[in-house]
A and B are shown apart, each in its own frame.
Chain A
């Protein structure tokens, strides 16, 4: 199936006569601009299946990026527990390292691990989140086996705007947001600035199983320790408006976070700490067609009392990354819009170990990429065909030494990877009003991380000969959207089928002395996504359901940690009462078919989480009171064969990752002032 489909795609792309033979070609009504800085993508217009989450007003709530992404069809989020804890996103069953995450088009996946911790990315600083499921625009790279997520920060809108908010809540949670944007004087210059502080003690109660899952008698109610954090997020942007609507935008951001690292529930760690400092600047010019960025990130992990992480640890790592791209687009004839996008990027990583200074790995990766894309519009824009080929070339250098293998140190190893990621998207505006059909096919990859290649931590040893994971993704679906129809401000119905096969998975295999990664096996994901959105002037309902059948090809077992069924629904509204606006919301999130091990001997019961909120608006003031996990779902019954639990059903804490409990019911209140 896979070679045949790829041959078909390459055949289409390579056929010079194919496009010329089409009839009624004309240039589509799209502007030539960088996707990273482009307007909000309209799901009915673009070829990939994309969810656009409008997060304006996020400062009015206490909410994380992970919680917000969990609302989207096709996405799944796992957390180590509570606000501020490590959180990983999956799209269509992918691993978190297979999802490309960008902040205004700047890649946030660092070469060291490849995966992104959502807890160190902002939500309140954003305007919207674009979730490209299974297929990504070529400008967002080829390392997007699951898809891509672009976080778009607050855009300047011409008018002055000021806001401030203060939040308090359970587990010592506190938050302050400040925002100001203006276009003073002649209007040539415009600026915006955002500053946020968020912190929490994270000391929620949980059911501590005492490390004995089959003995409920020794369970006790415990309080999470060393789970506190403080973080500051700052963004600033300056825009120069030129003639003809041309823009130059320079934005900078910095992020600082200091957090405890709590360990598992039954092996409380009290002194381990992680601090993260990140600063970046990015530039968009020529209406976004030219982009450049630079970014530095420092992480410092300490475990001074040799707790469960193994010995006294004092690790500091630095990542420095930078890159630039330019998009050159030109209409060919009246039917084609051809774009060529060269890119250059580099990332350097170095780690220093204060306890064992001789083991300080480093790595450098230089990347060049070229994307050739065409947009072909047929039948008066009714049919849009977008073939594209992106070729990424990487040169990676890193250490050869491995103390765990007792091998001598030598010169750095070099490796080269040239990875094409061709893709084809089709959008057909059907004769039925507002109904579009879409289909996509693409090949994606994940490069081994520096850790995969060069880890030298004694018990973890990298493999420099790993090959990239590769996947072939395709999907097909319908989307019906109508805006401003009678009493309905918006109606959207979407349903699609997707399939993805990923080969050469990079998995960690324990050995006698150490664990190392290998390319092993493959998985196939098949699934359905559906979404519904109904909105009137005063109320809105959004709901989605995802079915995912993700299995290992060799054993036919479900991949652990990826629910078969996930659903989300949210109902919200606001009504005037004199000069006061009264509103609220209700949310429900459901998951089922979640397995805890690759042999599928542990299946967790369905999980349902409810949340409610009540809101009052008076002039510029808004007060929101919300309760998360309303029914205080904190533990569940799990079958454990031949255990001493009643009927072999053992009660344990609800967890995304084994040993890391999730918090129970929590309340938050937020007061916001907006001008």
Chain B
């Protein structure tokens, strides 16, 4: 079970708008998902100014991603022994539940969601046949858009979903699910679904294997960016640029070689086009990783931070929040959040902001009123 769980720890960035628009989120506090991935997690609220932590403000599952869409917070319970395969909505202000959790089907393992123009939720299923459709008004799953024809085992392994107008773009990792390590069968594929017909109307072939994590828009272009980890060896993959308008991949924008033989575990791009990524050393049992900045031209800076950088998020004060899972004598006390001022590239907290459990690797930070 845990090995399965580990397979699903894919790359993510947070603070995204409705259609993953980069931009400055609003809020006075960071809401951070905390988990050891083995027991039920919870969220802590961290004041943006004092960094004071209020623990257990929201009950979560073992592997729960947080995604903010407008004034709503969605908790995507991916995989776990207790809470799994469901989505729940909360008001960003006050974290009031806006309905019950809604199951996306046993074993579906939802990874990402978008809100359609019709108000319905469309969730990417990692272990299901395609896209779960949920009516948030009545908190029930009302349908499923099957993409199973893309993968011989019937599970195209959706890691992310993106919406542009009436089209959905589903990012498929195409794993061989019959094998324990679930290697990708080949390069990833982006399925294009027309919401009007709820059917696949085309696809885009990726260049790299194993897309991982949520996608981000490239400011001022019709492109989106997505990480691809290939075989996690750090020899291939990077961040791939996809032109949705031309329906073609433009190749790797950042390569594993440029990262010194590391794979990308998370990244984000600011509205002004500055990029930040965390890069993991594949030979490190401890999961050692660095934080780098990068340009949209593909140039990568020397490490801004080193240690165990994981998920990234940009706060309303233009500061970068970096998850540090810690490692060593005690993960419980050495993990936490690190905050970097983007103007000075200086870390604002002398020590990681400690939380009662380690923060989720990625997709676990949103900013709330």
Contacts and interface: CB of A to CB of B under 8 A. Distances in A.
* A-B complex is real: yes
Interface of A: 209-215, 217-218, 263-264, 266-268, 306, 308-313, 355-356, 403, 405-407, 457-461, 463, 507-516, 518, 520-521, 552, 554-555, 557, 560, 596-599, 601-602, 640-644, 648, 652, 657-660
Interface in B157-180: 177-180
A651 to B, nearest CB: 13
B9 A217 contact: no
Nearest to B42: A601
Given A210-B103, A642-B95, 19 more contacts: A210-B86, A264-B81, A266-B85, A266-B106, A309-B4, A311-B180, A312-B178, A312-B180, A406-B282, A406-B283, A511-B287, A513-B232, A518-B328, A601-B356, A641-B58, A642-B58, A642-B97, A643-B59, A648-B59
B107 interface: yes
Contacts of A308: 1, 4, 107
B1 A311 contact: no
Given A266-B84, A311-B177, A554-B333, A457 B286 contact: no
Given A264-B81, A641-B58, A658-B81, A311 B2 contact: no
B93 interface: no
Contacts of A512: 9, 232, 265, 280, 287, 289, 310, 361
B88 interface: yes
Contact of B59 (A214, A463, A521, A552): A214
Q: Which 7 A-B pairs have the closest CB atoms?
A: A459-B3, A659-B81, A511-B287, A311-B180, A640-B59, A644-B97, A599-B356
Which applies to chain A's interface (DSSP): helix, strand, loop or mixed? loop
Given A310-B180, A511-B286, A212 B280 contact: no
B99 to A, nearest CB: 7
B137 to A, nearest CB: 14
B83 A211 contact: yes
Contacts of A356: 179-181
Interface stretch (B31-39, B143-151, B293-301, B341-349): B31-39
A522 to B, nearest CB: 9
A212 B83 contact: yes
A510 B331 CA distance: 10
Contact of B82 (A405, A516, A658): A658
Q: Give the one of B58, B83, B282 with max A CB within 10 A.
A: B83
A648 B333 CA distance: 29
7 contacts: A510-B2, A510-B5, A510-B6, A515-B2, A520-B328, A597-B39, A597-B41
A521 B85 contact: no
Nearest to A552: B332
Contact of B282 (A405, A460, A515, A658): A405
A232 B193 CA distance: 56
B179 A312 contact: yes
A405 B234 CA distance: 10
A596 B40 contact: yes
B101 interface: yes
B7 interface: yes
A457 B179 CA distance: 12
Nearest to B179: A311
Q: Give the one of B82, B232, B331, B357 with max A CB within 10 A.
A: B82
Contacts of B40: 213, 596-597, 601-602, 658
Nearest to B4: A310
A652 B286 CA distance: 36
A217 B233 contact: no
A308 B42 CA distance: 24
Which applies to chain B's interface (DSSP): helix, strand, loop or mixed? loop
Contacts of A312: 178-180
A215 B86 contact: yes
Contacts of A463: 285
B332 A509 contact: no
Interface in B71-114: 77, 80-86, 88, 90, 95-97, 99-103, 106-107
Contacts, number: 229
B43 to A, nearest CB: 8
* Interface size class of chain B, counting residues whose CB lies under 8 Å from the partner chain: 35 or more
B214 to A, nearest CB: 16
B56 interface: yes
Contact of B356 (A215, A509, A557): A557
A457 B180 contact: yes
Contacts of B201: none
Contacts of A642: 57-59, 90, 95-97
B99 A644 contact: yes
Contacts of B179: 311-312, 355-356
B327 interface: yes
Contact of A211 (B103, B233, B287): B103
A599 B42 contact: yes
A552 B231 CA distance: 37
A212 B103 contact: yes
A218 B103 contact: yes
A212 B1 contact: no
Nearest to B155: A306
Interface string B24-61: 00000000001011111110000000000001111101
Contacts of B232: 406, 512-513
A652 B82 CA distance: 10
Contacts of A552: 330, 332
A641 B97 CA distance: 10
B182 interface: yes
Given A510-B37, A520-B331, A641-B57, A211 B180 contact: no
Contacts of B106: 210-211, 266-268
A601 B56 contact: yes
Contact of B332 (A211, A310, A513, A555): A555
Nearest to A305: B178
Nearest to B36: A598
Contacts of B3: 310, 457-460, 514-515
A176 B84 CA distance: 41
Contacts of A596: 39-40
Contacts of B103: 210-212, 215, 218
A641 B356 contact: no
Contact of A264 (B1, B86, B287, B327): B1
A407 B283 contact: yes
Q: Give the one of A209, A513, A643 with max B CB within 10 A.
A: A513
A405 B235 CA distance: 12
Given A461-B285, A512-B289, A597-B357, A311 B330 contact: no
A405 B329 CA distance: 22
A329 to B, nearest CB: 43
Nearest to B357: A599
Contacts of B96: 642
A211 B86 contact: yes
A458 B289 CA distance: 20
A215 B1 contact: no
Given A311-B179, A311-B181, A512-B287, A641 B59 contact: yes
B83 A214 contact: yes
Contacts of A644: 88, 97, 99-101
A131 to B, nearest CB: 28
B59 A267 contact: no
Contact of B330 (A309, A521, A599, A648): A521
A508 B37 CA distance: 10
B283 A510 contact: no
Contacts of A515: 2-3, 6
B101 A212 contact: yes
